[in-house]
Structure 1
Amino acid sequence: MPTDPTTVPRCKAPRRWPDEPAQGGWYTDAEDAAMREVMDDSLSWRTGWRGTERITSFEDAFAAKADSRYAIAFNGGGPALEMVLHCLGLQPGDEVISCGLNFVGTHLPVLHQGGTLVLAEPDPLTLNLDPVDVEPRFTTRTRAILVTHWNGLVADLRPFLRLAACHPHPRHGPPVVIVDAARACGGTTPAGHPVGAEGWATVFSFETKKLMTTHGQGGMVTTQDDALASQLRRLRTYGLSRHWGTNQQLNKAQAAVGAVQLSRLDEMNAARVARGHQRTRLLEDVPYLTLPPTLTGGQHLYYRHNLLVPESWAGAGRDALMETLAERYGLGSIINDPPTYTSHDYIHARTHGQACPRAEQLAARLLCPCLHPLISDAEEQEICDAIREAAEQVARAFGTV
């Protein structure tokens, strides 16, 4: 049975830096003022917390930012993805291709909506879904490709759009491309488009650890498709008295704060990218670590700063490095993420023995030490010194010096 490999650093010693930041961005007086204004506006029993104007304003601003015709707000990224897949109308046997190296919340909705999850390998450099491995996995039952901008590195969607066009479903036509952009809000694709402009639907999360947040939970879907936008609006509001639906609405306080966070997103992302690039520079002389590719122009937002240890350290050596960082230096890290079928029982039971050897091998080498834009330059130097020293200690233990 799968275990949870994200919990490898079992050291309970106090840590100066947590396994991962509890909040991805940060709040300012502007968010506080927006929240106070909404609270003052909502005290009366005649008004309460409903406020479609604020929500619509937030959606319009988000659509403009993403260069998309529509943006539809939800109370979470998970529910938003669930409803997008519901709109696809998956039937038994319908297949959705997605990268095995992923967050479990990307794959659970596929299974819950009745789809067959087809796992594919990550690209060894970007760790995003590898289009070369996707092509042979197409069948006459393929309905969608679900692409994740994994850990902030924005995937190139053009190969997947071309593959979909070349492998039409016999009844539904070309499979759709659905994008999980929970960790890449505000990014730019290699084609030069804002994240959210390409594909049938792009799903964003505003959960507390994400690049922007609406009081800890929230989500958005962008699309250029009129019918999809209309259906999503019905679904989140009990079907608007005509169809099946549920309640997945954002409230006006979240929308007000989200509008401020959106206006500051480029600033927060720029600080995160600068921190990610600085960490790469400070670690570039460590021979035991493979560092993330240094990309510019918003193509990598460093939701996580991925490190890969040598293949000979895979598993035990990586775990030793994480334990050393936690125990001796107070630096937390996380495996973000292992293959979903190895870490979640429900997914494991429903992927019928599928395996992605490359994903498993990369995951066994992966660790993501804590990174946040508000870490000071002095602290960042300490963190990188700790990583360097810990890597040397593990190298001696594994005879790779």
Structure 2
Amino acid sequence: MTRLALLGGQPLLTPAERPVWPHITEKDIEAVTALLRRGEISYNGSEGEVRALEDGYRQRLGVVHALAVNSGTSALHSAFFGLDLRPGDEVIAPAYTFLATAMPVFACNGVPVLADVDPDTGILDPDGLAAHLTPRTRAVVVTHLMGFPADMERITDFACEHGLAVVEDCSQAHGAACSGRPVGRHGDVAAFSLQAKKQVTAGEGGILVTDDRRIYERAVLLGHCLDRGEEDVTSEEYGGYGRTGFGLNYRIHPVGSALARGALSRLDTVLEGREKNCDRLGAPLRDIPGITPPVRQAHVDRVAHYVSYQPLYAAEELGGLPIDVFTAAARAEGVPLTRPTSPPLHREAAFRSASWHPGTYHPGDSTYRRYRGDEFPGVDAYLSRVLRLPVYSEERGDLMDAWAEGIRKVVDNAGELHDRYAAGALTVQDPARTAQH
């Protein structure tokens, strides 16, 4: 039983069922059914389930304004539009994040300027921000990656010193907190995604939150009109434009709002379950060579584990055993270990091609950044050793213990595994991976 399955032995575990998500309750079904029976399938203003969802975020976060929209991407677009970016304005963004963190900057005729991340967390590194400052820099956008909060105190201090706005991309971090406050309360404006994988889900949807009235009115103008525009756009600067807005429709669906409102009411229970599982798995991993739990930095008050638990691999502790060989061996034992597949932004064509000019603003080479693909050592270091395991919301201590034992079995046999691979007696194809943004 000690021989690795990858080398002809018996697997230690029977692969477990994947986590069931989202959790749709009978109460959710009743709320949706009631909407359908009343014929409430669209709103022009902030009313009904949409108003209730927005109120839920206002109350939970203690913000002045909340705006429900049809996706997290729309929430980010609305946030950047709310900042009133002008052609050529630059927004510093993490090089490793989901594309929607940065791409809407192009739609606002701005220029995303990519910055490196912390090699231990994959999150925007405050120490690297100053290197990207230019006279055109207007804002910083930061992602709370996989539910781990960025160091918002240092980032906002930097932004304040240089007169920059801060956008928080909280899409993967509902319920997370740092430096004494929930994420979404540290910057000038924040965006949450309500996509199906998120901790709070509408199927598709998003929430923008801010205390800044001007940002809020501009966000409403971008994606709303008619009743909502006339109700909420009342300032002397924009009050005459509420009825038409900018002609876009970013409204969230009432059915999605009802689902998200139910999920928001259960958020703390979900996060507590995920935290118990991750703590249960992390405890034995601290004593197993070659793999360590995700780094939880001092500023983090609460992690809102997203779809993956992400330990870090240390090949040097296992004689240089390649990470893909380690991953394949663990999977053969029944441990569903994967690696990220989504490439960092600086390796995407939009940030490398000289011929692609997004939006209506066509910046010259001096402002529109193009990258070779090797500029960010923090990104490379992080991606070279980060692993992923599924996150369960219901308590699964037995499964966490089993995964730890499967990983320990691979580590105990790492010498033989390394020798067989080095001798060419073992071929490992690219292991099954999962894109989990």
Task: Name 2:70's counterpart in structure 1.
Answer: 75
Aligned counterparts, 1:84-233, within 5 A: 84-167=79-162, 174-190=163-179, 192-214=180-202, 216-233=203-220
Q: Distance in 1 between matches of 2:271 and 2:150?
A: 17
Task: Name 2:265's counterpart in structure 1.
Answer: 263
Q: Distance in 1 between matches of 2:104 and 2:414?
A: 39
Task: Name 1:302's counterpart in structure 2.
Answer: 305
For these two proteins, the number of residue pairs brought into alignment is: 371
SS of the aligned residue for 2:154 comes to helix
Task: Name 1:372's counterpart in structure 2.
Answer: 392
Q: Distance in 2 between matches of 1:212 and 1:314?
A: 42
Tell whether the 8 Å contact from 2:194 to 2:206 is kept in structure 1 after alignment: yes
Q: Describe the superposition over 1:257-311 as per-residue Cα deviations: whole angstroms up to 9, x where unpaired.
A: 2111111111111111111111111322111013213579852122232122125
List runs of 5+ in structure 1 lacking aligned partners: 1-14, 168-173
Q: Distance in 1 between matches of 2:224 and 2:413?
A: 56
Q: 1:363 to 1:105 in 2, by over 3 A?
A: same
Aligned counterparts, 1:206-355, within 5 A: 206-214=194-202, 216-238=203-225, 240-294=242-296, 298-303=301-306, 304-310=308-314, 312=316, 317-329=322-334, 331-335=336-340, 338-342=343-347, 344-349=348-353, 351-353=369-371, 355=375
Q: Which has the higher contact order (CA 8 A, sep 6+)?
A: 1
Task: Name 2:60's counterpart in structure 1.
Answer: 65
Task: Name 1:35's counterpart in structure 2.
Answer: 32
Q: Describe the superposition over 1:189-217 as per-residue Cα deviations: whole angstroms up to 9, x where unpaired.
A: 22x11222221111101111111111x21
Task: Name 2:364's counterpart in structure 1.
Answer: none
AA aligned opposite 1:321: F
Task: Name 1:362's counterpart in structure 2.
Answer: 382
Tell whether the 8 Å contact from 2:41 to 2:255 is kept in structure 1 after alignment: no
SS of the aligned residue for 1:333 comes to coil
Tell whether the 8 Å contact from 2:330 to 2:407 is kept in structure 1 after alignment: yes
Tell whether the 8 Å contact from 1:85 to 1:110 is kept in structure 2 after alignment: yes
AA aligned opposite 2:389: P
AA aligned opposite 2:28: E
Q: Distance in 1 between matches of 2:155 and 2:117?
A: 14
1:314 positional shift: 12
Q: Distance in 2 between matches of 1:64 and 1:145?
A: 26
Q: 1:378 to 1:262 in 2, by over 3 A?
A: same
SS of the aligned residue for 2:134 comes to coil
1:328 positional shift: 4.0
Q: 1:212 to 1:16 in 2, by over 3 A?
A: farther
List runs of 5+ in structure 2 lacking aligned partners: 1-13, 230-241, 354-367, 422-437
Q: Relative to structure 2, which stretch is displaced further, 66-75 or 290-299?
A: 290-299
SS of the aligned residue for 1:154 comes to coil
1:50 aligns with 2:43: yes
Q: Describe the superposition over 1:312-340 as per-residue Cα deviations: whole angstroms up to 9, x where unpaired.
A: 58998222233333344261524176522
AA aligned opposite 1:274: K
1:222 positional shift: 0.7
Q: Describe the superposition over 1:161-200 as per-residue Cα deviations: whole angstroms up to 9, x where unpaired.
A: 2111222xxxxxx11000010111112122x112222211
1:393 positional shift: 4.4
Q: What TM-score does the superposition give when structure 2 sets the normalisation length?
A: 0.77
Rg (Cα) greater in structure: 2
Q: Distance in 2 between matches of 1:336 and 1:21?
A: 20
SS of the aligned residue for 1:335 comes to coil
1:110 positional shift: 2.4
Tell whether the 8 Å contact from 2:41 to 2:254 is kept in structure 1 after alignment: no
Q: 1:166 to 1:48 in 2, by over 3 A?
A: closer
SS of the aligned residue for 1:101 comes to coil
Q: Relative to structure 2, which stretch is displaced further, 66-75 or 310-319?
A: 310-319
